[in-house]
Amino acid sequence: MRDRLAGGVAQDVVCTAELLVSELVTNAVLHTRSEIGVSVRSLDGTVHARVVDHEPRRGLVSRRRHPYTDTGRGLYLVERLASRYGADTGEKSKAVWFELGPPGPRSAASAGWGPVVPFSGAVRGVTLADLPWALCMAEQQHRHALLRELLLASAGGGPLDIRPGDLEAAHDVSNVISACVAAAGEDPPADADVRTLALSVPAHVTPALLALRRVLDRAEEAARLEHLLTRPSLPQLSALRRWMLDEIGGQLGGSAPTAWTVVPREPTASPLELRPWDREQIRASRFPTIAIDDRNQIIAANEAAADLVGWDAGDLVGRRLSVLIPEHLRERHLAAFTSLLLTGRPRILGRPVPLPALHRDGRLIPIRLLIQAQEMIDGRTVFVAQLVPRTAAPEPSPGEWPGELQESRKAALTQPPPSPDVQPRGLGERAREHDRSMSELARLSLLAESGRAASEAQDLPQALRHVGLLLTRRLADWCAVDLIDEHNEVERAVVVRHDPAPSSSVYEGALPALSSPARGPLARALRGAGPLLLTCAPPMGAGESPLDSRYAELSERLGVCSAVVAPLQAHREIVGALTVGRLGPEQPFTQDDVELVGELAGGLALQVANLRRFTRVRNIAEHLQHSLLPALPEIEDLRLSARYAPSTITAQVGGDWYDGFLLPDGGTAVVIGDVTGSDIDATAAMSRLSSMMRGISVVCQEPPEEVLRHLDMANRTLVQEATGTCVYAVVKASGAGLWELSYSSAGHLPPLLTTQNGETRYLEEGGGLMLGTGFDLPRPGARTLLPAHSTVLLYTDGLVERRGEALDRGLGRLREHAAALSRAPLEAFCDELLIRLGSDSDDDIALIAVRPTPP
């Protein structure tokens, strides 16, 4: 081709033509495997090139919406670089052509490749319900990358033990699936992240689907063993791939469709859904959030995260994530991150993990780390991490729907799947249209479900999002909740759309104050007027207040044909406003809907007021509890380390506590305890018991069993006697490189002794009744010798107990992890136990470890 064009056109045009012809020939080789013809000519500086194959049944599939860097880019490059392009299909051949004009302004490109016809012949309808589009595009890219490398390895005689017939069939049906998805996905809006697609699939592909499954399983195994350059897929990609193949094969065999959103998946094997990467989401998040690329480099950080760790947001961008990781955990982080990239098997992805973050001044900040995967436009994966201070609950995910929403989606699936010639619509959309003509029973059901959705949430943001998700599936196309506080400051707390878009969060955040000139619908609602029926978007006229302008901007950008705005009033106080909107003119809101929204707003207002009151009480209790956690002493030849992680599902205050202090006789006391309850009363009881314990220990200086007996007697003098468990232990040097541990347990889980060589045993002697039983029975004590560099761990039940699981299994799991960490520094020992065991717990966790470390 270069020889044919030499001297006739400019060199840069020759290079561009060479690139585009190479891409088209590659497509023909991979997708048709037929005889290929290439023709090229130049006339008056214009290059015309054609690539002909003899497989006209294979239609062209353009990926103009997802220009990935390694797969699916050939036709995209032609679209971007050619002056004109197109495809001509005949009975026995197909020609793909393009023209390159001389340097200068490009002429208008042709209309495109024509309609996408993935395959000719008999087809059958297949419905992929609630397909996550970003995740689908990432799975498609990874699948094509695996198959393309397998073709290359097979041509080179690679030892992958895959039959050539299976590989060819797998490659062909993979292309057919991608073409069918592309054809069905043309009509939904580009920002719709969840779609229901009606595919037209060739009727005879079932045997090829089985071959594709076998080949992909073998390819994934080869990728995990690093026999391929392509990385193994992340768990959510594998889960979606299995679901898609099961749906296509099952529906071709006569089965009914099952939506992706109701398929059960293990949390650790399938973390939160992959969503399109949006830098604005990071900046707009109210929680400390950073984003890391696959090079372990920070690519975005919001101000909340920067303030938490003592950096400027701009200074964090471009640095390695290790700048925020304590030194004793960096090796662990690098190993886990590398393992994720090479094997596709996550350890903490999608799970809230308690661990410390490194502040810029060197101190450690206890946080819960929640990492989710998102997808960049070029197909690479971005890891978005929330660094939630350990005294707060993790931010709810839009995917965390209340149970009744899952049930409503299951009910929607009982409708028959649409035929291939019917325009597909989302299941939620059909259900919502059905419910817009609401009966009295449906109205009562919606009111009850909204109250339940809010009451089951962990905090106010989650409650508002749950209610928003419910309303956008049963009543409206979008909804917004604006809240006003006691300082007259207004915040748009949440915006939820029926078709989730990555840019929804940009509408959230602080709003202008409610000032006297404000006269718009939102301002009126915040003053108590309404509910108000809006038959069109509020006009953006001159002279409006900033608050009115922001509200009009939201309505205009979301597209409002009809809306209702209602005040949130609870206990004679206006706490905010609820707005619900519909986009199309077909079914505007009526006066009946206005009354319904008013009732919904009344119930939501009570939930907002109650959650605000609960949050204030919780914050006070959190500060109280953390102020009670002691600073451990620094002791020569003896190391102490402790951790505390509150529950993520309760009020985050409770009765777990630890203590460590020096005794007048030279011993070191370590204490772990758990007072019954998970509220502020338990925290108060814990405070009293821990204070009495320290006082009795220092004054009496008696054996541990006597100290616990005195503590139980003192407990009876309290107005409200506390019940709970406790271990009190004293460590003293006994000479010859050994230390003596004397201890007694009041109904608590046994301490764990781990030697430097990894030998473990529970110290089960010295066990007695829990505190607060009222019985005066003798309390036993026990003694044991501690070798140098051994570790004694005292812990509460949240570290080992799991609902529906035998306690012995949790204790065995703790022994295994402690043995594996026997030689780790004591700080790493404690942090690793929290990381490995704490992320699966829904209870408070306290632990304290002591380790003799002679010079």
What is the helix (H) or strand (E) element at residue 66, kind and residue range?
none
pLDDT score, position 428 = 38
For the cut 80, the answer to whether the pLDDT of residue 284 exceeds it is no
Say how many C-beta atoms besides its own lie within 10 A of residue 735's C-beta: 7
Task: pLDDT band for 433, please (50, 70, 90 cuts).
Answer: very low
Whole-Å CA distances, 737 to 539, 608, 637, 734, 790: 82, 60, 10, 8, 11
Contact assessment for residue 230 and residue 146, using Cβ atoms and an 8 Å cutoff = yes
**Highest-confidence segment of 140-144, 232-236, 571-575, 728-732:** 728-732
List Cβ neighbours of 245 (8 Å cut-off, separation of 6 or more).
209, 212, 213
Q: Is 787 helix (H, G, I), strand (E, B) or coil?
A: strand
Whole-Å CA distances, 316 to 145, 280, 288, 306, 736: 33, 16, 13, 7, 50
Name the percent of the chain lying above pLDDT 90.
Answer: 21
pLDDT score, position 158 = 62
Q: Give the residue-averaged pLDDT of 786-802.
A: 93
List Cβ neighbours of 696 (8 Å cut-off, separation of 6 or more).
707, 710, 711, 714
Of the options 3.10.20.600, 3.90.45.10, 3.30.1010.10, 3.30.565.10, the CATH number for the domain spanning 2-100: 3.30.565.10
pLDDT score, position 785 = 93
- Out of 166-170, 371-375, 394-398, 678-682, pick the least confident: 394-398
Whether CATH 3.30.450.40 fits 436-617: yes
Task: pLDDT band for 672, please (50, 70, 90 cuts).
Answer: very high
pLDDT score, position 117 = 53
> pTM for this structure?
0.56
Residue positions counted in the chain:
855
pLDDT score, position 187 = 60
- Out of 165-169, 404-408, 807-811, pick the least confident: 404-408
Say how many C-beta atoms besides its own lie within 10 A of residue 529's C-beta: 15
Q: What are the pLDDT digits (tens) for 101-134?
A: 865 554 444 556 765 555 556 888 999 987 887 7
pLDDT score, position 330 = 85
- Out of 49-58, 179-188, 562-571, 684-693, pick the least confident: 179-188
- Out of 33-42, 576-585, 676-685, pick the least confident: 676-685
pLDDT score, position 276 = 61
Q: Give the residue-averaged pLDDT of 502-506.
A: 54
Q: What are the pLDDT digits (tens) for 820-842?
A: 999 999 999 999 898 888 876 77
pLDDT score, position 416 = 38
Which of the pair, 274 or 94, is modelled with greater confidence? Answer: 94
Q: Tokens in use for 520? A: 């718009």
Architecture of domain 275-389: 2-Layer Sandwich (3.30)
For the cut 90, the answer to whether the pLDDT of residue 225 exceeds it is no
For the cut 60, the answer to whether the pLDDT of residue 650 exceeds it is no
- Out of 23-27, 152-156, 301-305, 747-751, pick the least confident: 152-156
Q: Is 120 helix (H, G, I), strand (E, B) or coil?
A: coil
Write down the CATH superfamily of domain 629-852.
PPM-type phosphatase domain (3.60.40.10)
For the cut 80, the answer to whether the pLDDT of residue 15 exceeds it is yes
- Out of 11-20, 377-386, 635-644, pick the least confident: 377-386
The partner residues of 644 in beta bridges, in order of sequence, read: 846
Task: pLDDT band for 645, please (50, 70, 90 cuts).
Answer: confident
In 54-110, beta strands by DSSP E: 84-89, 94-100
pLDDT score, position 823 = 92
pLDDT score, position 790 = 95
pLDDT score, position 822 = 93
CA 751/CA 843 separation, integer angstroms: 19
Average pLDDT of the chain is 79
pLDDT score, position 727 = 95
pLDDT score, position 441 = 74
Residue 825: asked if its preceding bond is cis (omega within 30°), the reply is no
Name the percent of the chain lying above pLDDT 70.
Answer: 79
CA angle 71, 77, 79 (to 5 degrees): 125
Q: Give the residue-averaged pLDDT of 382-389.
A: 84
Q: Give the residue-averaged pLDDT of 88-111.
A: 74
Q: Tokens in use for 105? A: 């302004």
Q: Is 776 helix (H, G, I), strand (E, B) or coil?
A: coil
Q: What are the pLDDT digits (tens) for 287-311?
A: 788 999 878 899 999 888 888 899 9
For the cut 90, the answer to whether the pLDDT of residue 22 exceeds it is yes
Q: Tokens in use for 818? A: 């402690």
Task: pLDDT band for 415, please (50, 70, 90 cuts).
Answer: very low
CA 248/CA 114 separation, integer angstroms: 26
Task: pLDDT band for 751, please (50, 70, 90 cuts).
Answer: very high
Q: What are the pLDDT digits (tens) for 438-477?
A: 667 777 778 888 877 777 666 788 788 888 888 887 888 8
pLDDT score, position 813 = 93
CA 435/CA 476 separation, integer angstroms: 10
Q: Give the residue-averaged pLDDT of 739-754.
A: 94
For the cut 50, the answer to whether the pLDDT of residue 603 exceeds it is yes
Q: Give the residue-averaged pLDDT of 530-557.
A: 73
For the cut 70, the answer to whether the pLDDT of residue 539 exceeds it is no
pLDDT score, position 537 = 66
Task: pLDDT band for 185, please (50, 70, 90 cuts).
Answer: confident
Q: Using the 8-state DSSP alphabet, how is residue 834 labeled? A: I
Contact assessment for residue 96 and residue 37, using Cβ atoms and an 8 Å cutoff = no
Q: Give the residue-averaged pLDDT of 668-674.
A: 93
For the cut 70, the answer to whether the pLDDT of residue 404 exceeds it is no
CA 577/CA 605 separation, integer angstroms: 9
